[in-house]
Structure 1
């Protein structure tokens, strides 16, 4: 078996098991249910918010450590953090321990950067498309499969929400074991460059050179106005999706208080994943010059997304809210794929992780700020939260329209 294919299979197995988390769509129901002494309000205000806060600095730390530690250790740590998270969910479900669990969960999510960048440090460029495709499909297959599995097991009372955590824990163990067999990485982009001129440099000089290279990539990338524009779109849309995704289970539980029907959280995750795959496919398949049509795409995305989120904040039917979430998620995946493509076309290849990491950091800072104001300070109920989340998209829409109008007025005056 060729080396690149072996790496692709190992990464795919790791990604599949890591995303096999059938208990995750029901974590709110589990934590606010009979298995713990935590109220639904505590889960929303004191547990979920911790994960949002800690993810912000951890993204930066994970990015630097991933390159410094040569990828593989972070991938192994990702699996270990997953084991810790679901062990705590099963055996220590108190408020304080769940807040600590969110810290480990933030680390678990942040380590994704090692998974998605390892292949580019270990595989020859000619195999990038195959490896990227294989790992991405395994990642999505794991998420979709776990959604269906969790839905079937809970709907037919084969397992309750707590017991689903055991399957997730087992998957984390398999993911960790798989990661141990990944080949080690010798050369990286910043701290361990394959450059003969750096062989005689001290460790401190190499680190200085690494940060200097990051600065060079930063200046070169963000000197392009289109990179700045698409990066803003990438960040604010990721912020909006993160807000909606984090508190979706809270909203569904609130809506379902009246109907008291069997929740379909698992199946909606599978449907959303499928729509996301279709959206990403169409974004890559249709070769459209978005640099000339970007304002049209921005207006369409933020207006439709804002309207959908505001609507779901008022609906009294949980299945309607599921449908809205799936459509919104598909639109977000489409927008993200286009944004990534537009950004990566205009920046140096070795700076992909740096620039997209900065955009993610900005998104998390915005998300943390909104969570602090809306949930921690104002203690807004979940329907009002979603009304504000939808208004965030409308606000961004208005800002882009104003910017575009002012830019054109200034351009016409100069002409």
Structure 2
């Protein structure tokens, strides 16, 4: 119970606190230093898991891991700064495929090592530490981007003539304050730009609803995947099969296949997208209800695979429906805001469902709430899309003054 109420929630709360400051510092430092920091935090996390013990050590490890999660915005934004806009779609597909393939290979390798080789979880952590250490080394060889994704060009660095020896100290002190003022001005301009862009982008009601699904779906997905292991321990306490890693790998691969399939479906998305979101979200809710009610581990495994597949498919639908209404320069902004909104909602859900002492919910009760959560989300989109033909005459136009100007 201490794992559920004292350890796992640290990741949720820390992530929501760190997202905004990391986002701002990322732009100011030109991405690469934050990517290096992300590699360092991954290494530190698994070092703590290997050498630490007790609840406080686990909490610290998850806090450090939350820094790595918040720094994801630096990694994805960095990619768009070092390639030409004509390669955005191709690069994005490569990156997403690499991430999903990494998850799948890691899950399958772990499953084979545990099931066939009798490898301990400690050894798996050592292998992971070696992997993230190799990733950290590669970050030092990344080229430093010359421009910002949100504010083009570096913030103004005022440079004067070389100081004489007598005034070196005063000149250095003045230079420090000049640079500090320039950095503060840069942050101020960026905040103003972010607020103006957000107002423009979220002024479209239809786009806003896709962003709502992206944020709420992200919240539900991380809640389910974060606590599903505890549900499986409840269903099968002695864990004779221990196929959790293989199930995670299969769910990731099937989700990747579903994501690719969505890209080749010929459909009038402007008419049917919201109805599809509502209908398939209802299937997600059904899978979670079945996971909550069943005592069969294999049924629970199958429902988890279905859940991950449907979520990744619907997340892809939301992504390209949002992206087609945005200027490329606003992608990271809108997706970052959606991620932040999802993290805030996740922290609220965690506080209510897990950390409320008066409730003391069991893991099955938690999954009943998660299933009800997706059912309510399905109802929202199903009702909104009750008459899809009506959207033909009022389908949203791209964000005002956003799309069409790179």
Would you call these one fold, judging by a TM-score over 0.5? yes
2:331 is aligned, of 324, 335, 352, to 352
- Provide the residue aligned with 2:367 in structure 1: 386
- Structure 2 CA distance for aligned equivalents of residues 195 and 241 of structure 1: 37
- Structure 2 CA distance for aligned equivalents of residues 243 and 122 of structure 1: 34
- Provide the residue aligned with 1:315 in structure 2: 294
- Structure 2 CA distance for aligned equivalents of residues 56 and 87 of structure 1: 24
- Provide the residue aligned with 1:208 in structure 2: 188
Against the structure 1 CA distance between its residues 110 and 202, is the aligned structure 2 distance closer, same or farther, given a 3 Å change threshold? closer
- Provide the residue aligned with 1:18 in structure 2: none
Residue 157 of structure 1 deviates from its aligned partner by: 4.4
Q: Any idea what the Cα deviations from partners look like across 1:299-344, whole Å, max 9, x if unmatched?
A: 2122111111011011111121111111110111111111011111
- Structure 2 CA distance for aligned equivalents of residues 130 and 406 of structure 1: 35
User: Secondary structure of 2:118's partner?
Assistant: coil
TM-score by length of 2: 0.85
- Provide the residue aligned with 1:251 in structure 2: 231
Residue 49 of structure 1 deviates from its aligned partner by: 1.0
Q: Any idea what the Cα deviations from partners look like across 1:187-206, whole Å, max 9, x if unmatched?
A: 10235x1389x787944433
CA contact (8 A) 1:221 1:348 kept: no
Residue 404 of structure 1 deviates from its aligned partner by: 5.5
CA contact (8 A) 1:190 1:211 kept: no
2:153 is equivalent to residue 194 of structure 1: yes
- Structure 2 CA distance for aligned equivalents of residues 179 and 116 of structure 1: 13
- Provide the residue aligned with 2:212 in structure 1: 232
Q: Any idea what the Cα deviations from partners look like across 1:115-143, whole Å, max 9, x if unmatched?
A: 22211001112332333233222222211
Against the structure 1 CA distance between its residues 408 and 275, is the aligned structure 2 distance closer, same or farther, given a 3 Å change threshold? closer
- Provide the residue aligned with 1:36 in structure 2: none
- Provide the residue aligned with 1:396 in structure 2: 377
- Structure 2 CA distance for aligned equivalents of residues 189 and 222 of structure 1: 20
- Provide the residue aligned with 1:120 in structure 2: 80
- Structure 1 CA distance for aligned equivalents of residues 78 and 105 of structure 2: 24
Q: Any idea what the Cα deviations from partners look like across 1:227-247, whole Å, max 9, x if unmatched?
A: 101001111111111111110
CA contact (8 A) 1:45 1:376 kept: yes
2:314 is aligned, of 321, 329, 335, to 335
- Structure 1 CA distance for aligned equivalents of residues 196 and 132 of structure 2: 38
- Provide the residue aligned with 1:22 in structure 2: none
CA contact (8 A) 1:220 1:347 kept: no
- Provide the residue aligned with 1:48 in structure 2: 8
Report the number of matched residues.
367
TM-score by length of 1: 0.83
2:285 is equivalent to residue 326 of structure 1: no
- Provide the residue aligned with 2:162 in structure 1: none
The structure that is helix-richer by fraction is 1
CA contact (8 A) 2:272 2:388 kept: no
- Provide the residue aligned with 2:401 in structure 1: none
- Provide the residue aligned with 2:249 in structure 1: 270
User: Secondary structure of 2:237's partner?
Assistant: helix
Residue 88 of structure 1 deviates from its aligned partner by: 0.6
- Structure 2 CA distance for aligned equivalents of residues 402 and 157 of structure 1: 52
Against the structure 1 CA distance between its residues 195 and 79, is the aligned structure 2 distance closer, same or farther, given a 3 Å change threshold? closer
- Provide the residue aligned with 2:349 in structure 1: 370
- Structure 2 CA distance for aligned equivalents of residues 402 and 368 of structure 1: 27
User: For 1:123-142, what aligned pairs fall within 5 Å after superposition?
Assistant: 123-142=83-102
CA contact (8 A) 1:71 1:114 kept: yes
Who wins on radius of gyration, i.e. which is larger? 2
- Provide the residue aligned with 2:398 in structure 1: none
2:40 is equivalent to residue 83 of structure 1: no
Runs of 5+ unmatched residues, structure 1: 1-40, 410-415
- Structure 1 CA distance for aligned equivalents of residues 330 and 63 of structure 2: 28
- Provide the residue aligned with 2:139 in structure 1: 179
Against the structure 1 CA distance between its residues 408 and 375, is the aligned structure 2 distance closer, same or farther, given a 3 Å change threshold? farther
